[in-house]
Structures are given as C-alpha cells and as structure tokens.
Amino acid sequence: MRSVRRQRFGLHEPPSTRRLAEIPGLKRLTAEGVEGCDDGNDVDDDGCSNTCVLSICGDGEVQGGEECDDANDVDTDECTNMCLNAACGDMIVQEGVEECDDGNDVDTDECTAACITAVCGDMIVQEGVEECDDGNDVDTDECTTMCLTAVCGDGIVQEGVEACDDGNDVDDDDCNNMCEPNAKIVFISGTTHDGKSAILRIDPS
C-alpha cells in the first residue's frame, strides 16, 4: 500500500514526513502524530499556526477567540488563565488593581460594582450594615460618621435639630429624652437690706 501511495502522490517519502499543506488536494488533512492541525493557509493567528500546531491558551500567541495570551499560569495578572483580559466582575481579584471581585453588579453588598471593598464613607449604603452613607466626616448632620442615622439619644448633638443629647434615657437630668434642656429651679435664700428674708427663683434656659 505504501508504494501505491507514493506513486499516487508522486512523493519520495511518506506524507507523514512532509507538510500536508504543500500537497494539492490535501490541505485540510493532518498527519497523525506529526501535526496538530493543518488549515492549508499561511495565516499564523487563526487557530492553526504555520507550523501546523493547534493554538491553545498559554502558548504566548493571541489567536482565535483569545483576548490575550501571556503564556503564564498566573490568574491574577492582566491576562487570566482563560486568555481573557482581566476585568472587574470576572470573579478574579486582579492583584494591585482590585480589592475584591464577587462577579456581580450589586453595588450595596460587601464588594461594590467597582470591585472596591464597601466601607462607611463611600456614599453607598451597604445593605444590612449601614443605615446611611453621606460620604462626609461630619458627625452632627443627619448621618453620623459611623453611617448611622442621627437620633436623639445617640450622644451626638444634631446641628439645627437638637439642643442637647446626653445619650441616656434619664428624662429629669439636664437633657431630657426629647433632647431638650430641662429648666432648672434654683432657690437662693438671703437677707435683704431691710432685714427680711428673700427667695429668688432662677429658670435658666
């Protein structure tokens, strides 16, 4: 059979030792055990190289459906092990670029849609953790610096709203439970110029 094949193809050696792409009519065949592919063209980045090697992710050449190929097995650099450009949302934390990557577009969980770890002060209200987040460091407005909604009794005097806030639930001390100062009655006894006793009442506001 081998001599017949040689005579048929007009070759002096078996086809398995030559590039089949050079043989008319056999450009789509591959030599088993020699070539990984053979597409019969001289395009080197179409999935089958000019050396008849099937392109794979990790061979250092961007081919086929690859976005990149850095020929390493590091999954956290700019090119993932799937030969895709690293991007926020791919569930791979890109080293030195992303703080987190949970693969979703939910902005109110532990990892924002910008792949940044959620923190108080980022102007995003983290669900189940923060009550508010106004992104500033002012503790006397409607949202405290702990990302809690300002309320009477939190020990912080809310500007323009509360006159006092002692942070307790004692209603008859200097600051009542409505965050208003309790009026003080001070009795001072003394003697007037005519020798009579006098009582003065002072109600400070």
- 6-15, 48-57, 70-79, 178-187: range with highest mean pLDDT: 70-79
C-beta separation of 6 from 16 below 8 A: no
Average pLDDT over residues 75-95: 97
pLDDT at 93 over 70: yes
Name the residue with higher pLDDT: 104 or 41. Answer: 104
Cα 29 to Cα 37: distance, rounded to the nearest angstrom? 8
Q: Would you kindly state where each structural domain of the chain is located, as residue ranges?
A: 87-118
C-beta separation of 117 from 126 below 8 A: no
Lowest mean pLDDT among 49-53, 81-85, 95-99, 107-111: 49-53
C-beta separation of 1 from 7 below 8 A: no
C-beta separation of 23 from 30 below 8 A: no
Cα 70 to Cα 80: distance, rounded to the nearest angstrom? 9
Measure Cα distances from 135 to 112, 144, 145, 192 in Å: 15, 10, 9, 60
Q: 179 is written with which tokens?
A: 């965050």
Neighbours of 174 (CB within 10 A): 10
**Residues whose CB is less than 8 angstroms from the CB of residue 182 and which lie 6 or more positions away in sequence, other chains included:** 172, 173, 174, 175, 176
Strands (E), 16-143: none
pLDDT at 57 over 60: yes
